Amino acid sequence: MERSSLKCKIGPSILNADLSQLYVESQKLIDNGADYLHLDVMDGTFVPNLTFGHPVVKCLRKKIQNAFFETHMMVQDPEKWIEPMADANVNQYTFHIEPVLQNVLKVCRKVREAGMKVGLALKPDTGIEAVRQYIDHADMILVMTVEPGFGGQKFMGEMMPKVQWLRRNYPLLDIEVDGGVGLNTITSCAEAGANMIVSGTAIINSVDQRAVMASLRETVESSIHKCNV
């Protein structure tokens, strides 16, 4: 993929928000400086929890028409939901490679044909070698810094070598981290080279969402110029 310069993007996860107020909570995050919304979709199979699917995303899109929506598909059969999510006007479809290791390229192609950007997600136990051959077919790589499926988990700093390897070998790749990312852990993410920051609890539960997002952004941007050579 052709890429220009690297930019910091803050994408709050609404997993820990009041889901009965999904639109209000989401709009508030955007008004407070979010660059995109990270929408966690779980099927109860690939991960133990259930969240919401394309009907909810479609309803949210009708209310919020201009924001960038990334769906993080924690599902056993990512191919199944490509068309419904495209129909819901999702901008980026990020799926886990683990359940489709033999068909990653096929799913990438279908996502792109449906008009969405491609994100490839790795669980903590999945090594970088599992995704290496697919990086050129993706717009973004998501390195999970917790086990997917639950909000509020403790950040796994031992995942940072994956981020470092990706940044070293792909200087302009969008690299996302997700799980336990907040004011206490953002420095290690930024220094490793992550530029797309998913943060749930740290933003949602803060008394000043704008200040938290601004602080996360400042930390990332202070590291990012090293990559924009």
Which DSSP category does 98 fall into?
Answer: G
From 16, 70, 50, 8, select the one nearest 199 (Cα to Cα): 16
E strand map for 145-224: 174-178, 196-199
In this structure, are residues 12 and 204 in contact, taking their beta carbons and an 8 Å threshold?
Answer: yes
The H or E element spanning position 23 is: helix 22-31
What is the spatial distance between Cα 224 and Cα 153, in angstroms, rounded to a whole number?
26
Residue 178 known to be catalytic: yes
| Catalytic-role residue among 43, 139, 174, 178 | 178
40 is catalytic: yes
Annotated catalytic residue, options 31, 35, 40, 87: 40
The answer to whether the Cα torsion of 57, 60, 62, 65 is positive or negative is: negative
> Catalytic residue numbers?
40, 178
